[in-house]
Amino acid sequence: MTSTNRYLRQTSLVSFGEEGQAKLADSQVLVVGLGGLGLPVIQYLNAMGVGTIGLVDHDTIELHNLQRQVLYTEADLGRPKLEVAIEQLQAQNSNTKIIGHDTFLNSQNALEIIKNYEVVVDATDNFATRYLINDACILLNKPFVYGALHDFEGQVSVFNYQNGPSYRCLFPKMPGPNEIPNCDVNGVLGVLPGIIGTMQALETIKVLTGVGEVLSGKLLLFDGLQQQTQTISFEAQADQKNITQLQASYESQDCLMEFGVSAETFLSNAERENMQLIDVRNSNEFEHDHLARAINIPLSQLADHELSIRDERPVYLICQSGQRSALALRLLTAKYPTLKIYHILGGMNKLAALCP
Amino acid sequence: MTIKLFGVTKDIIGSPSLSLPTNVLTGKSSPKTVGELRQFLGKTYPGLKELSSLAIAVNNSYAQDAEEINSYDEIALIPPVSGG
């Protein structure tokens, strides 16, 4: 199979042609996040003949990923996303050079990883990494293709393209941890990241080949329920593009990290430690399934609940994903500074993945 | 004045759009600028004030607080969203 035949359907497009194909073959794209957004991006970029694709993720595949992360199968449960994605991409197109970065992106590794690529695709699911990618791309002068979801809506844009506006020109300040619900709390309709992710793939192709008009200085808003799109134009703000170094950390909950225990640590502590376990999810979630020792105090009622400070057992907080338990930790630590309080990172989801 | 709502602003206000008869906005006069509108909405819906970043677009363009608005302008409230 010659490469001419392989890409014939796109090289025969007059405005794309052999020239566009040659540019793709010669390009290096980094995709951060191998979840609902990242998978359609990598599948199309790989199918279409992008020469080098870098992948960043450190997650494992869980059952509740499968309704939207359509590259993964039931046989892949528990395996690292990175490993499965690399296998699948190599089977799909053996010509592509695939580079795996088995880590989450952070302030320590971001510049080192991003500097080798031409374009970055932000397919993450949290603000901390989005702001980190923004700042790193400004420092390295790289464009990045942004996509994000909320309920049945999506946003797409290309930031920092040819000195164009950045993410901070739209949203200067990173939201706090409890301002905007994420998919873990809010839910996401399986097909929606597929739509937004393929739009990101399209924008990436346009950035790489120069075909068409790149969505720079424009924010595309997609409303899946109404099947409507709207495009907002915006300009670069010099003060928002004036980034001289990365922040030491982008995690607004960093101060709480030391009181976050991994699900593995929790399980081993639970065997030998006498603890109070508080499940801060809603009562219907609790009734649906909970840990044997847990008592239920929903986050909304936690502020009114009195813990006994004479009870010296350590307090462990759990919720579905670790987000509400982090808020509960903040609340209780402020109220009971003398108690030992921890929260379980990844929550019930992580525990379910460990002991299905 | 019609205000289209996106992301978490839909949840805070409880509907996909907001229609404000301009004369009752402030009792006397309607907001003349994006900044005044932002203040008015923040008073009526305190949840909006807690957003670190909230972009406001006027007629499909990102607007600074000083920008003037009229009753026939199409406004959109656009918060950041994080899901992926």
Q: Based on the number of CB atoms within 10 Å of its own CB, is A9 exposed (0-12), middle (13-18) or buried (19 or more)?
A: exposed
Q: Chain B closest CA to A155's CA: distance in Å?
A: 8
Is residue B42 over pLDDT 80?
yes
Whether B84 is in a domain gets the answer no
Whether B62 is in a domain gets the answer yes
Whether A98 is in a domain gets the answer yes
Whether B57 is in a domain gets the answer yes
CATH code of A41's domain:
3.40.50.720
Determine the pLDDT at residue A186: 72
The reply to whether B46 touches chain A by the CB within 8 Å rule is no
Q: Which domain does B40 fall in, by range?
A: 2-78
Q: Count structural domains, chain A.
A: 2
Whether B67 is in a domain gets the answer yes
Whether B12 is in a domain gets the answer yes
Task: Quote the longest CA-to-CA distance of chain B.
Answer: 44
Q: Is A183 or A82 the better-scoring residue by pLDDT?
A: A82
- Average pLDDT across chain A, whole number: 91
- Average pLDDT across chain B, whole number: 90
The reply to whether B4 touches chain A by the CB within 8 Å rule is yes
Is residue A310 over pLDDT 70?
yes
CA A179 and chain centroid, separation: 17
Q: Which of A212, A241, A270 is the last residue of a domain?
A: A241
Catalytic residues of A, which ones? 183, 319
Residue A125 to residue A78: CA distance in whole angstroms: 20
Query: What mean pLDDT comes out for the span A86-98?
Result: 98
Q: Based on the number of CB atoms within 10 Å of its own CB, is A6 exposed (0-12), middle (13-18) or buried (19 or more)?
A: middle
Q: By the 8 A CB rule, do A231 and A74 touch?
A: no
The reply to whether B23 touches chain A by the CB within 8 Å rule is no
B60 to A230: CB separation less than 8 angstroms, yes or no: yes
Determine the pLDDT at residue A347: 92
Q: Which of A241, A264, A289 is the last residue of a domain?
A: A241
Is residue B73 over pLDDT 70?
yes
Are residues A205 and A64 both part of a single domain? Answer: yes
pLDDT digits (tens, 9 = 90+) for A155-203: 999 999 999 999 999 999 999 877 777 656 678 999 999 999 999 999 9
Determine the pLDDT at residue A1: 45
Whether B61 is in a domain gets the answer yes
Are residues A121 and A190 both part of a single domain? Answer: yes
Is residue A19 over pLDDT 50?
yes
ipTM over 0.90: yes
Are residues A279 and A139 both part of a single domain? Answer: no
Question: Where does the pLDDT of residue A111 fall: very low under 50, low under 70, confident under 90, or very high at 90 and above?
Answer: very high
CATH code of B65's domain:
3.10.20.30
Whether A249 is in a domain gets the answer no
Is residue A43 over pLDDT 80?
yes
Whether B31 is in a domain gets the answer yes
The position carrying tokens 């808003």 is A221
Whether A16 is in a domain gets the answer yes
Are residues A185 and A273 both part of a single domain? Answer: no
Whether A100 is in a domain gets the answer yes
Nearest CA in chain B to A222: B6
Are residues A167 and A261 both part of a single domain? Answer: no
Question: Where does the pLDDT of residue A323 fall: very low under 50, low under 70, confident under 90, or very high at 90 and above?
Answer: confident
**Chain B environment of A219 (Cβ under 8 Å):** 55, 62, 78
Query: What mean pLDDT comes out for the span A258-276?
Result: 84
Determine the pLDDT at residue A12: 96
Is residue A254 over pLDDT 70?
no
Q: Please name the member of B50, B57, B83 whose beta carbon is closest to the beta carbon of A188.
A: B83
Q: Chain A closest CA to B28's CA: distance in Å?
A: 31
Q: Please name the member of A33, A176, A232 whose beta carbon is closest to the beta carbon of B52.
A: A176
Q: Is A15 or A304 the better-scoring residue by pLDDT?
A: A15
Query: What mean pLDDT comes out for the span A122-136?
Result: 96
Are residues A47 and A98 both part of a single domain? Answer: yes
CATH code of A262's domain:
3.40.250.10
| Cβ partners under 8 Å of residue A29, min gap 6 | A45, A50, A52, A53, A54, A117, A118, A119, A120, A121, A204, A208
What is the percentage of chain A residues whose pLDDT exceeds 90? 73
Is residue B80 over pLDDT 60?
yes
| Crossing angle between the packed helical segments A81-92 and A38-48, to the nearest 10 degrees | 30
**Chain A environment of B6 (Cβ under 8 Å):** 150, 153, 221
Whether B83 is in a domain gets the answer no
Whether A103 is in a domain gets the answer yes
Query: What mean pLDDT comes out for the span A26-34?
Result: 98
A150 to B62: CB separation less than 8 angstroms, yes or no: no
Q: Which of A220, A241, A262 is the last residue of a domain?
A: A241
Query: What mean pLDDT comes out for the span A71-78?
Result: 97
- Give the tokens for residue A227: 């099947």
Phi, psi values for residue A307, rounded to 5°: -90, 150
Determine the pLDDT at residue A183: 57
Determine the pLDDT at residue B41: 94
Is residue B22 over pLDDT 90?
no
Are residues A205 and A288 both part of a single domain? Answer: no
Is residue B25 over pLDDT 80?
no
Determine the pLDDT at residue A4: 60
Are residues A206 and A265 both part of a single domain? Answer: no
Query: What mean pLDDT comes out for the span A34-58?
Result: 98
What is the percentage of chain A residues whose pLDDT exceeds 70? 95
Are residues A20 and A107 both part of a single domain? Answer: yes
Q: Count structural domains, chain B.
A: 1
For A164, the 3-state DSSP assignment is coil
- If one counts every other C-beta atom within 10 angstroms of the C-beta of residue A295, the result is 11
The reply to whether B61 touches chain A by the CB within 8 Å rule is yes
| Cβ partners under 8 Å of residue B28, min gap 6 | none
Q: Which helix (H) or strand (E) holds A162?
A: none
Nearest CA in chain A to B7: A150
Whether A246 is in a domain gets the answer no
Q: By the 8 A CB rule, do A85 and A76 touch?
A: no
Are residues A140 and A264 both part of a single domain? Answer: no
Question: Where does the pLDDT of residue A336 fall: very low under 50, low under 70, confident under 90, or very high at 90 and above?
Answer: confident
Question: Where does the pLDDT of residue A255 fall: very low under 50, low under 70, confident under 90, or very high at 90 and above?
Answer: very low
Q: Please name the member of A124, A175, A230 whose beta carbon is closest to the beta carbon of B53.
A: A175
**Chain B environment of A179 (Cβ under 8 Å):** 8, 50-52
Q: Which domain does A312 fall in, by range?
A: 254-354
Are residues A219 and A287 both part of a single domain? Answer: no
Q: Chain A closest CA to B37's CA: distance in Å?
A: 18
B52 to A173: CB separation less than 8 angstroms, yes or no: yes
Q: Chain A closest CA to B81's CA: distance in Å?
A: 6
Are residues A236 and A288 both part of a single domain? Answer: no
Determine the pLDDT at residue A253: 47
